[in-house]
Structure 1
Amino acid sequence: MSGLKEIMPARLVSEKDKMLKRFALDMAARCQAEYNAAFERFNMDSVRIKVHLSYACHAIVSCYQGDHNGCTKYSLVCSNRNSLKTWTEKSAYLKNNFKLNKSENTAALLRKCVKYRLGPTMLNRTCKNTNTQKAEATNRAIRATVPSNVTFTRNYKGRVHTAIHNVNNGPGESIVKLCKAAGVPIEPGSRAARGLKNIQRHNENHKLYKQSKRYTDQRCSKKHELYEIYDEYQEEKDYEKNKLLQTKRLAAKQPQEYSFAKKLRSRHVKNK
């Protein structure tokens, strides 16, 4: 959006462009986090969600300008009370001291950006808070079962159905149900049943760990560290011509003479 690059707290144009890209990513993550928290807090009640997010929009604008009083009242993901970190302090894209100038023009630009995601029209379109992650997970499972470099002419449908059944029930439970449907049930308490139960438990625990706050915080901090490393060793700053090492030309290899070849050549000379 025109005008946002000018308000970025940077000196060079290249730094403003880079900061604007990261600010856009952070703004999208902030709006989605607010919506997810409100969706869970108000138990999918669209009316209460809209009322709460109408106040949260103003809190987000003030938050990026350094004022977190509105966040304490209306935000569900940012707060400066009880020694909790604010959104900018725990952001994966922005620095801890990121702050935009407090002006009406800046507030109007930020409010317009927030309305793209948390406005009434967009909230009506995304009232169920669905995404394409389940479809993408199913497609990945199908590609793993039916790779594109192999043609399965006889059992293609069966492989696809097995992959979908695995996604819906889990790896261990899926095998138990398929064996029972095929007429070869797995005996409860057997070694195979215990192994499949452990596989199913490990898969469920892995999913819960991926959704836990600890894992998301670790992933956010790791992303923040990677951005800091890039800022320190960025490509534009360190690039120089003829920086690569010169390749050494190897001499042409001479054909190797084996001992038996020398003997044959000497015999041929003696016969002459």
Structure 2
Amino acid sequence: MLKGHSKCNIRSRFALSVKARCIAELKAARKKLQGDIITLKKVMVNVISTIILCFNGYCGTSCAKYSYVCAGTNRQAKKFMPNNVKVKMVDSDQHVLRKCLEMVLGPAALDATKLLTTTQKCEAANRSYQAVNPKSVTFSRNCVGRIHGQVYKLNNGYANSVIAKTMELHANLTQGSKVIKQLAYEDRNDLNRKRTSATIKARALRARTRNYRYKLHEELHYGKGISDPKPDFEGLPHLKHHKYA
């Protein structure tokens, strides 16, 4: 399946399509089943078989019955793949694809990722910790307090965390003061930024940009050493006795 050096780009796009399909199925199933991990394990058995059939060109009844994101119109299988490419899988290819799908949708993987904590979320939390406790400075006295304060801020928001901490220190803020207005302003800006990045318009823009980049990469045909022009040593007589070209 997709063998050869010329299919390298297609293989990468196929892998991205499979990954995107797995994540979409998992998120949609979790939302519909309300995070019931036991039921999720049961339905993912049919979902894995459905994804294999869908990418193999048999998108229809199985997708409409078992899939949470594909209605049987073959659109999900073409998320990153070019329209003129058809994937033909034999039994061994289907077995390998099933093993790959089970790495994300299998029972063991579902147990390990039941909280939906992706690598990006973990790295974002680590960066927020470094903002208050950088590696270049040793806060031996209040390191634990800094981390706990940052965790409270991540869970409750900037304004609420500041007000709660000032109340614990018996330094209550006056209602309607400039400090309260500034806290509300910062909290409102942070909320608007998160809402904007999650809107359908913003996600569609990111998808169009991603597809445009892949289209450019698909049209790029370059072989280093083959299509490069040969250097001209006519004006350099002292290099003529060397076979650089």
**Short-chain TM bin:** 0.7 to 0.9
C-alpha contact 2:29 2:40 (8 A) present in aligned 1: yes
AA aligned to 1:171 is Y
Q: How much does 1:114 deviate?
A: 2.4
Could you tell me which residue of structure 2 aligns to residue 24 of structure 1?
15
Structure 2 residue corresponding to 1:77, chosen from 60, 69, 88: 69
Helix, strand or coil for the counterpart of 1:88? helix
AA aligned to 1:56 is V
Percent identity over the alignment is 29
Q: How much does 1:173 deviate?
A: 1.9
Could you tell me which residue of structure 2 aligns to residue 88 of structure 1?
77
Within 2, Cα distance between the matches of 1:46 and 1:30?
19
Larger Rg: 1
Q: Deviations over 1:112-142 (max 9, x none)?
A: 4323332344344444544455442221012
Helix, strand or coil for the counterpart of 2:76? coil
- Larger displacement relative to structure 2 (207-216 or 182-191): 207-216
C-alpha contact 1:31 1:118 (8 A) present in aligned 2: yes
Could you tell me which residue of structure 2 aligns to residue 38 of structure 1?
29
Runs of 4+ aligned residues of structure 1 deviating over 6 Å after TM superposition are: none
Q: TM-score, normalised by structure 2?
A: 0.75
Q: How much does 1:105 deviate?
A: 4.7
Aligned length: 229
Compared with structure 1, are the counterparts of its residues 215 and 53 closer, same or farther at alpha carbon in structure 2 (3 Å cutoff)? Answer: farther
1:194 aligns with 2:186: no
AA aligned to 1:74 is Y
Within 2, Cα distance between the matches of 1:165 and 1:116?
33
Compared with structure 1, are the counterparts of its residues 201 and 16 closer, same or farther at alpha carbon in structure 2 (3 Å cutoff)? Answer: same
Unmatched 5+ stretches in structure 2: 232-245
Q: How much does 1:216 deviate?
A: 3.3
AA aligned to 2:162 is I
Helix, strand or coil for the counterpart of 2:26? helix
C-alpha contact 2:9 2:218 (8 A) present in aligned 1: no
Q: How much does 1:109 deviate?
A: 3.9
Compared with structure 1, are the counterparts of its residues 33 and 179 closer, same or farther at alpha carbon in structure 2 (3 Å cutoff)? Answer: same
Within 2, Cα distance between the matches of 1:203 and 1:161?
20
Helix, strand or coil for the counterpart of 2:131? helix
Q: How much does 1:100 deviate?
A: 0.7
Could you tell me which residue of structure 2 aligns to residue 240 of structure 1?
228
Compared with structure 1, are the counterparts of its residues 26 and 187 closer, same or farther at alpha carbon in structure 2 (3 Å cutoff)? Answer: same
Compared with structure 1, are the counterparts of its residues 74 and 144 closer, same or farther at alpha carbon in structure 2 (3 Å cutoff)? Answer: same
AA aligned to 2:125 is T
Could you tell me which residue of structure 1 aligns to residue 153 of structure 2?
166
Could you tell me which residue of structure 2 aligns to residue 67 of structure 1?
58
After TM superposition, list the pairs within 5 Å mapping 1:1-272 onto structure 2: 7-8=1-2, 13-69=4-60, 70-80=62-72, 86-89=75-78, 91=79, 93-101=80-88, 103-152=90-139, 156-233=143-220, 236=223, 240=228
User: How big is the alpha-carbon RMSD for the aligned residues of Structure 1 and Structure 2?
Assistant: 3.2
Compared with structure 1, are the counterparts of its residues 139 and 241 closer, same or farther at alpha carbon in structure 2 (3 Å cutoff)? Answer: farther
AA aligned to 1:22 is R
